[in-house]
Amino acid sequence: MKRILPFIALLLILAACKDPSVKYNQVIQNDSDYDVWVRVYERTDSASTVFFTVDSFLVAKKSETIILERNGHKNMDQFKPCRMYVDSINGRAADTLLFVDKNLNSDTNYVFTEVDKNRKGGGTCECRVIFKNINLH
């Protein structure tokens, strides 16, 4: 029993020192009166570490859709720039000729929020962009 106590103590120390885990969501919120198709054009370089499972998302009117989920270790600051992990992303109102004029490629149009933070700097965070009727032309 005495031989196993140092091993247990080591495991407890390693568990306490573990980097915090972070869950990151990239959210598109559609407050407009139109359903909007968001089209994702994948990166073509081999260094891309994020893969979207679909190439377009329907964001229903007055709703929101998570277009990307990532999990990681370290802290939430690594996601603060609201970086896009695609070559291009744009939106168009379904069954119309209206396009979203808000640049979905630019991180300045997204708002970073720490949704739930734990004491180690991990938790849940998101980058959210909101578009309204005024953003459709």
Q: How many domains does the chain have?
A: 1
pLDDT at site 122: 84
Q: Is residue 55 part of a domain?
A: yes
> What is the spatial distance between Cα 89 and Cα 127, in angstroms, rounded to a whole number?
15
- Identify the CA nearest to 105 among candidates 125, 90, 126, 95: 90
pLDDT at residue number 62: 97
> Which has the closest alpha carbon to 122: 26, 27, 19, 25?
19
Examine the pLDDT at 124 and tell me if it is beyond 80: yes
Any domain includes 89: yes
In a domain, 14, yes or no: no
Q: In this predicted structure, what is the pLDDT of residue 14?
A: 57
* Structural domain boundaries enclosing 123: 19-135
Predicted confidence at residue 29, as pLDDT, reads 96
- In this predicted model, what pLDDT tens digit does every residue of 21-77 receive, in sequence order? 889 999 999 999 999 999 887 655 545 556 666 688 899 999 999 988 888 877 888
- pLDDT tens figures, 92-116: 998 889 999 988 888 899 999 999 9
Chain centroid to CA 122: how far? Answer: 15
